[in-house]
Amino acid sequence: MDNLRQLKQVLQESVQIVFFGGAGTSTESGIPDFRSADGLYSNQTNRLQSPEDILSRSFFLKEPEAFYTFYKSNMIHVEAKPNAAHLALAKLEQQGRLQTVITQNIDGLHQLAGSRKVLELHGSVHRNHCVKCKKAYPIQEVIHSAQMVPTCETCGGIIKPDVVLYEENLDQQVMEQAISSISKAEVLIVAGTSLTVYPAAGMIRYFQGHTLVLINKEKTSFDEQADLVIHERVGQVLSEAMKN
């Protein structure tokens, strides 16, 4: 594959690489994405409410029980292990060539693979806090709560995941750090994302380096802006590209 050879060369010759990924980076770990044919959007049993409706701030506040019923069975995957993509990126960081992983994912798999410089645009299922007193809770408290809706042992308030819900703003500091690293990158690898969720998707326009790489199973509306497009599985592509 010509494009793969080209990617291999780009990775070998660059030291300012940034990765920008989405749910497709974790499908090879068994976590469904949203928009693939076998993603959460097409497999939803509740046709009246879309995952976007349920994972919204107003729904969380109005119907915490229904929110947590969906969230616990669809968004928490503690059994999932990092796949070839996460491992290849951790190795690229260890080699001093990958500067930052910017992810829209909330599953914590990049950190589990060993990546240290990870910016989580949409937060993490592993961090949770009481909406009233702000006390922090680990994911286990959410999974094993006595009632469907986990509540604070100190003040009785509802515990909310530190996940950016629809209708909520991204953390300003995380966003600024992401924009700063994208604008300093010489190579930006965008992978496993439909690039439809904003403002995250809009961040790639800050890239001013020499090679924009797009790795996605399906076409995206950004394919034409990329210098190198590979329509294959990201784990397979990155592990191949990292081979000596």
How far apart are alpha carbons 125 and 108 in whole angstroms? 8
Query: Which residue among 86, 110, 122, 126 is the active-site one?
Result: 122
- Amino acid present at 68: Y
Joined together, the tokens standing for residue 95 give 């080699």
* Per-residue contact flags (x/-) with ligand NAD for residues 31 to 70, judged by CB under 6 A: x-xxxx--x-------------------------------
Is residue 126 annotated as a catalytic residue, yes or no? no
Q: Please select the residue that binds ligand NAD; options are 197, 203, 238, 242, rule is CB under 6 A.
A: 197
Closest C-alpha among 136, 106, 139, 110 to residue 123: 106
How far apart are alpha carbons 178 and 180 in whole angstroms? 5
Least distance between ligand NAD and beta carbon 195 (Å): 6
How far apart are alpha carbons 132 and 229 in whole angstroms? 46
Stretch that binds ligand NAD, among 152-160, 165-173, 210-218, 221-229 (CB under 6 A): 210-218
Q: Is residue 217 near ligand NAD by the rule CB under 6 A?
A: yes
How many residues line the site for ligand NAD (CB under 6 A)? 28
How far apart are alpha carbons 119 and 174 in whole angstroms? 6
- Cβ distance 18 to 99 under 8 Å? yes
Stretch that binds ligand NAD, among 4-12, 64-72, 177-185, 191-199 (CB under 6 A): 191-199
Q: Is residue 115 near ligand NAD by the rule CB under 6 A?
A: no
Residue with Cβ nearer ligand NAD (185 or 189): 189
Alpha helices, H only, 144-233: 172-184
Rg (CA), the chain: 18
Sign of CA dihedral 122, 125, 126, 129: positive
- Amino acid present at 189: I
Q: Is residue 218 near ligand NAD by the rule CB under 6 A?
A: yes
Joined together, the tokens standing for residue 53 give 């409706």
Q: Is residue 167 near ligand NAD by the rule CB under 6 A?
A: no
Q: Please select the residue that binds ligand NAD; options are 196, 205, 210, 221, rule is CB under 6 A.
A: 196
Residue with Cβ nearer ligand NAD (160 or 233): 233
Q: Active-site residue numbers?
A: 122
Provide the binding-site residues for ligand NAD, judged by CB under 6 A: 22-24, 26-28, 31, 33-36, 39, 104-107, 122, 192-194, 196-197, 215-218, 233-234
